[in-house]
Structure 1
Amino acid sequence: MTGILVVDLCIALAAIAGGAAVVTKALGLIKRGGDVLDDWQGEPARPGVPARPGVMARLEAIEAQLKPNGGSTLRDAVNEIRAGQADHLRTHHGD
């Protein structure tokens, strides 16, 4: 009878350990899911840590750089370089 009790106890402990491993893995996945949501939505500033804008705010800032606004966007810089190259080619190659 003691042998059966020991086997039952070992099986129960193995089941608890396996269950604990599953729960630990599930909690890790839940935390990573929360991290993804935090990255998507952004985080407000807190003492010692600056705010982090969410994905949509960052995407909006990137899109704003792709439209000319009279001098301060990446698009304006590309247009200025292109115009300068065209002027250089006309001046030095006789177009």
Structure 2
Amino acid sequence: MPDWISSLTVAQLAALLAGLAAVGGLTWAAGRWLRRAGHLIDDLLGEPARPGVDARPGLMERVQRIEHEVTYNSGGSLKDKVRALDGKLGDLSTALQAHTADHQTAPTIRQDITVQPPGGPV
């Protein structure tokens, strides 16, 4: 055993162990922080495909997809489809109002139903 270890007092040994524990704790905390930072960078930049895992697009590519859906383009976006449905709904509303104005009262439907038991009238 080296001479410097055998010459340590209990207080010095406790201080050395506390220092090692502090360095280990800081290393563990830094490792967690660096792992989280790595996940953030992967989310921002995206990840290429690897065996068994599909590629993940980066943040800017995902934002571009969202912008494509909420802006008018040649009929392929969600916003274009909502505009088309709104136009059709307006046409149906106009037709319903015109129909209602022509027919102030609802037509009455009458129908007589006669039920005869099997074998003829009773």
What TM bracket, shorter-length normalisation? 0.7 to 0.9
Give ranges in structure 1 of 5+ residues lacking alignment: none
- Superposed displacement of residue 71, structure 1: 3.0
Q: Letter of the 2:46 partner, please give it.
A: G
Give ranges in structure 2 of 5+ residues lacking alignment: 1-5, 99-122
Q: As a proportion of its length, which structure holds more strand?
A: 1
Match of 1:61 in 2: 65
Poorly superposed stretches of 4+, deviation over 2 Å: 67-72
- Superposed displacement of residue 73, structure 1: 1.4
Kindly indicate whether residue 35 of structure 2 is the aligned counterpart of residue 31 of structure 1. yes
Kindly indicate whether residue 93 of structure 2 is the aligned counterpart of residue 89 of structure 1. yes
Larger radius of gyration: 2
Q: As a proportion of its length, which structure holds more helix?
A: 1
Kindly indicate whether residue 46 of structure 2 is the aligned counterpart of residue 7 of structure 1. no
Match of 1:80 in 2: 84
Match of 2:26 in 1: 22
Q: Letter of the 1:13 partner, please give it.
A: L
* TM score, norm. by length of structure 1: 0.87
Q: Letter of the 2:22 partner, please give it.
A: G
Which deviates more from structure 2 when the two are superposed, residues 83-92 or residues 64-73?
Answer: 64-73
Kindly indicate whether residue 55 of structure 2 is the aligned counterpart of residue 51 of structure 1. yes
Percent of residue pairs bearing the same amino acid type: 35
For residues 44-71 of structure 1, what are the alpha-carbon distances to aligned partners after superposition, in whole Å with 9 as ceiling and x for unaligned? 0111111000000000011011123333
Kindly indicate whether residue 74 of structure 2 is the aligned counterpart of residue 40 of structure 1. no
* CA distance in 1: counterparts of 2:34 and 2:25, whole angstroms: 14
Q: Letter of the 2:38 partner, please give it.
A: G
- How many pairs does the alignment contain? 92
Q: Letter of the 1:63 partner, please give it.
A: E
For the aligned residue pairs, the C-alpha RMSD in angstroms reads 1.6
Which deviates more from structure 2 when the two are superposed, residues 4-13 or residues 47-56?
Answer: 4-13
